[in-house]
Structure 1
Amino acid sequence: MGSLSHFLDIEVIPTFAGLFLSQAQYISDILSQLHMDGAKSVSTPMSTTDKLPPANLSSAIEVSSYRRLLGLLQYLNLTHPDISFAVNSLSNYMHGPLESHWAAAKRVLRYLKGTLCHGLFLHSRTPLRLTAFADADWGGSLTDGKSTTAYVLYLGSNVVSWKSARQKTVLRSSTEAGYRALAHSTAEILWVQHLLQEIGVSLASSPILFCDNLSAMYVCKNLVFHSRIKHLALDFFFVWDLVVVGSLHVHHVPSTSQLADALAKPLSWKLLLSLLVQDWCLRWILHLAEVC
């Protein structure tokens, strides 16, 4: 059948250094279907000032159209991790979307129009090392006070897994929210580790997990702090056991360099651009380190 060029609406572009995955045509088709070809692009997927109101069944717009659009956006998340938070947030209003929710969903499309050439690049040669960034937006939801968990997982310089999801319970401190995010990202690290082992791939070193919450980082390294979060006992021992035996290293990263921040809350275009540039620099540093 020849070289792989398209797979489930994902365009695969081979280069000398690896594969570039793009959904540019898929995005163009959606914009055409919704008559947004001429819409003006925006620099961020969500506004940092306009807050989404709660769903309202009595004032809801056509639910089927909203759900269909969210389904299309969820599939675009395969090559656009930067829209993960927006799609996750908008998915919470499926039962009673308002005009403001519909406008916010169309804003994501306007952002995608401006980033049509963006996608995922997979280097063919990259160090076999797992690195993750975990973050939490404590009490960020105005409707129920719940926090958002976000993480990004790299295999060498390649992004292989990411998540943005609202936590199931209301937590009383940023430490609890941050530690819950650490536990979820640790579980994903272990899953990828076991998957690599099953296919015969061994890692060069123990995974490294970066977080910008100093309190959460201290908790996972020091048993003394356990008494303060007894209600998170299972998450505590799950991460602490791995740290103690050296199977996982947890390091602090400044909030300005927390790459998972883009998946935890709306960001201004300057901060979003800064994180995208840092992500690009991190990939090339890891790639050059392997080449050299």
Structure 2
Amino acid sequence: MIVTGDYTAEIEELQKHLASEFEMKDLGSLKYFLWVEVTRSKHGLFLSQRKYVMDLLADTRMLDCKPADTPIVENYKLGVYVDQVPTNKERYEMLVGRLIYLSLTRPDIAYTVSFASQFMHSPSEDHMAAVMHILSYLNSALGKGLLFKKNDHLDLEGYTDADYAGNITNRHSTSGYFTFFGGNLVTWRSKKQNIVSRSSAESKYIEIAQGVCEILWLRWLLVEIGFRSDAATKLYCDNKSAFEVANNPVQHDRTKHVKVDQHFIKEKPEHKLISIPFVPSSEQLADMLTHVVSKRRLEDSLDKLGIIDIYAPT
């Protein structure tokens, strides 16, 4: 159990009460919890799963493998085919499940792991090779994790993105978003959309709606713990068509098929809860949650997301 708060006296009182009801022990400052390692320094709070990664690589005999630069190879063509060679389904499910838990502190593998999980029902040797490539990437930086710094603001903002018909099997799009509080990454998601979009603008607009839901939940949560903001939360989008519809939602034929999301999004800027500014694709952090990016783009994004490796040699 993790007990946290601003008032030492109340924390001590709670611990005494719990100790009177249960057999428990105060382990001091948080250092390790459910395979998540916590490190404190003058730079901030660092969360990683280094030991978890090392155990995973040891169990799969991948500690001595050649490290990969990115979580997935560029120009991959993974899908479900009639003539595919099946692989060990139980082992595939086990590996993907462990990688899903690892993505709690590793947003850099979120897209690849989400993609791999789509083939749990019928994995092939090609799918297993993609999972082993993720392990090779993890071997390149065992200790990567999230750094939470004390910044001079408590702004809430998000980045939302989607590819268009990226799934070669059923042409579904992939959505992704990052949200930041006080300049620190707090939530993220990469997931295949449930429907086939008829345009790139529609796929982006669907993701904006999902990003709005996440922002609204975070605003409610922050109010619950004492942080109320009257300023509209910025949710950045890099698609001009979706941006124009979101900020000037005039009803016309080309947006009829997204009018439910349109009405949902439309009222949020009107109520000053959320604003949807445009951001160039080169500055869209959520790109790495929707498709493969180059090594250079990946490293640049990780730096902006606060994902570092404190164990890396300097």
Q: What is the aligned counterpart of 2:233 among 195, 207, 217? A: 207
Identity of aligned residues (%): 38
What is aligned with 2:91? 65
Matched length: 281
Q: Higher mean Cα deviation, 128-137 or 12-21?
A: 12-21
Matches within 5 A, 1:1-292: 1-54=27-80, 59-203=85-229, 205-224=231-250, 226-280=252-306
Write 1 or 2 for the structure with the bigger share of helix: 1
Instruction: Give the counterpart letter for 2:101 in structure 1.
Output: Y
- Kindly indicate whether the alpha-carbon contact (under 8 Å) linking 1:151 and 1:162 is maintained by their aligned counterparts in 2: yes
1:168 & 1:272 partners in 2: Cα distance? 27
Query: Aligned with 2:175: secondary structure?
Result: strand
Instruction: Give the counterpart letter for 2:125 in structure 1.
Output: E
1:58 & 1:171 partners in 2: Cα distance? 27
Shift of 1:56: 5.5
- Kindly indicate whether the alpha-carbon contact (under 8 Å) linking 2:249 and 2:262 is maintained by their aligned counterparts in 1: no
2:185 & 2:54 partners in 1: Cα distance? 24
Q: Higher mean Cα deviation, 134-143 or 195-204?
A: 195-204
Q: Higher mean Cα deviation, 102-111 or 117-126?
A: 117-126
- Kindly indicate whether the alpha-carbon contact (under 8 Å) linking 1:24 and 1:117 is maintained by their aligned counterparts in 2: yes
RMSD: 1.7
Query: Aligned with 1:252: secondary structure?
Result: coil
Q: Higher mean Cα deviation, 191-200 or 180-189?
A: 191-200
Shift of 1:227: 3.9
Shift of 1:142: 0.3
- Kindly indicate whether the alpha-carbon contact (under 8 Å) linking 1:259 and 1:275 is maintained by their aligned counterparts in 2: yes
* TM-score normalised by length of structure 2: 0.85
- Kindly indicate whether the alpha-carbon contact (under 8 Å) linking 1:138 and 1:146 is maintained by their aligned counterparts in 2: yes
- Kindly indicate whether the alpha-carbon contact (under 8 Å) linking 2:185 and 2:305 is maintained by their aligned counterparts in 1: no
Instruction: Give the counterpart letter for 2:91 in structure 1.
Output: S
- Kindly indicate whether the alpha-carbon contact (under 8 Å) linking 1:128 and 1:202 is maintained by their aligned counterparts in 2: no
Which runs of 5 or more residues in structure 2 are unaligned? 1-26, 308-314
Q: Higher mean Cα deviation, 100-109 or 49-58?
A: 49-58
2:127 & 2:135 partners in 1: Cα distance? 13
1:273 & 1:169 partners in 2: Cα distance? 31
2:79 & 2:52 partners in 1: Cα distance? 30
Moved over 4 A (4+): 55-58
* TM-score normalised by length of structure 1: 0.92
Which runs of 5 or more residues in structure 1 are unaligned? 282-292
- Kindly indicate whether the alpha-carbon contact (under 8 Å) linking 2:164 and 2:200 is maintained by their aligned counterparts in 1: yes
Shift of 1:237: 1.1
1:119 & 1:19 partners in 2: Cα distance? 10
Structure number with larger C-alpha Rg: 2
